[in-house]
Amino acid sequence: MTKHPWLRRATFLSMIAALGMAASAAKNLRSKPQFEYVGGTDTMRERCQGKLALTETAIIFECPEGRVTAPFDSITRMEYRSKISRQVRRMKLHWALKPPSGGGKHNRLFTVVYRADGRLHAMVLKVSPDAMRPYLAELDLRVGHRVDVERFY
């Protein structure tokens, strides 16, 4: 039994908020595509517009051109930034579609690096901050480590 019952209430309320965000994200999946494939190690048409789904075990990006699945337990890095970080660029990934250099003062690129078939893979999706916001907390909880989000001051 904890000494602070308010701590249990706060934890419970934060879990309810996370579920609400997940429900909001699921609702967004049924609406228009909000994600664009702009780079990655899988062969897919540039600017392929699709939807992002968080299942029990993986992140799935699906568009008319195909789908990319990144199992949660294989994800090594996630970031949401205005451009691809130096850490990702230095990984010497075999890009099938090289991502844009980015820039600006707004986060737009969601990058997921994961291991499959004994090598590193990546997908880079362009998404607006409003569309990405509901996914950030859910990803932190499901993957087990945080999405590296670039902060602007």
- Tell me the pTM: 0.76
Tell me phi and psi for residue 66, to 5 degrees: 160, -160
Q: Say which DSSP state 96 is in.
A: S
pLDDT of residue 29: 47
CB 62 within 8 A of CB 148: no
pLDDT of residue 21: 60
pLDDT of residue 88: 93
Q: Say which DSSP state 99 is in.
A: P
Q: How far does Cα 3 stand from its chain's mean position? A: 37
pLDDT of residue 27: 53
- Angle of CA points 86, 101, 52, to nearest 5°: 90
Give me the CATH topology for the region 5-149: PH-domain like (2.30.29)
Task: Output Rg (C-alpha) for the chain, integer angstroms.
Answer: 16
Q: Structural domain boundaries of the chain?
A: 5-149
Distance, CA of 111 to CA of 50 (rounded, Å): 15
Answer whether residue 57 shows pLDDT above 80: yes
CB 40 within 8 A of CB 95: yes
